[in-house]
Amino acid sequence: MLIQLLDILRIVLVGIAFYVGYSIGFDTTYNPVAQLHFMIPVVIVAIAGISGLEGLIFGKKTARAKGYETGSNYQKQSSFALLSYAAGALLVYFSNWGIYAELTILFVFFFFFTLSAINHGIDAIRHKNYKWQNINRPFILLLMLAGFLYPVWMFLSN
């Protein structure tokens, strides 16, 4: 039950980040930098930060919920990597290193998340592991990419 609540929390926080981010971006004139400046750290911390803590604190429950083996050192290592993304996003945000640093963190996070989505998708097909926590990754990735596409495109095309 707790693992499902953490999944819901991640999804709700990302939804709030998109809603508030788009509200900020379209306040008076369109400002993709303001939009991305808000959305990037919130989305990365919501997903990577919560997932990293979840993997470290509730590792066995998380692995079982996804249909994976428990007690793997790789799970701990993956949790550390996720926490690194969250810490990096916060460092860039609070240090005010600018939109290019923020986009760098976002692109690295999306690269990891894309490889993770492929891994989860292959696992679902190959091992018929159709647990919600396993099959949702590719779909959530596509939704996040769609939500970030416009502001990233608008910033990079100017």
Q: What is the pLDDT of residues 91-136, one digit of tens each?
A: 999 999 999 999 999 999 999 999 999 988 898 899 888 877 778 8
Q: Give the pLDDT of residue 66.
A: 65
Could you give the CA distance from residue 31 to residue 72 in angstroms, rounded to a whole number? 44
Asked if residue 3 has pLDDT above 90, the reply is no
Q: Give the pLDDT of residue 41.
A: 98
- Per residue in 44-80, pLDDT tens? 999 999 999 999 998 877 767 666 677 778 888 999 9
Number of domains in the chain: 1
Instruction: Tokens 């018929």: give the residue.
Output: 128
Could you give the CA distance from residue 70 to residue 61 in angstroms, rounded to a whole number? 8
- Per residue in 22-41, pLDDT tens? 999 999 999 999 999 999 99
Q: Give the pLDDT of residue 72.
A: 77
> Which long-range contacts does 18-27 make (Cβ < 8 Å, 24+ apart)?
18/43, 18/147, 21/151, 25/151
Asked if residue 84 has pLDDT above 90, the reply is yes
- Domain span at residue 135 reads 2-157
Q: DSSP states of 82-147 as a string?
A: HHHHHHHHHHHHHHT--HHHHHHHHHHHHHHHHHHHHHHHHHHHHS----HHHHHHHHHHHHHHHH
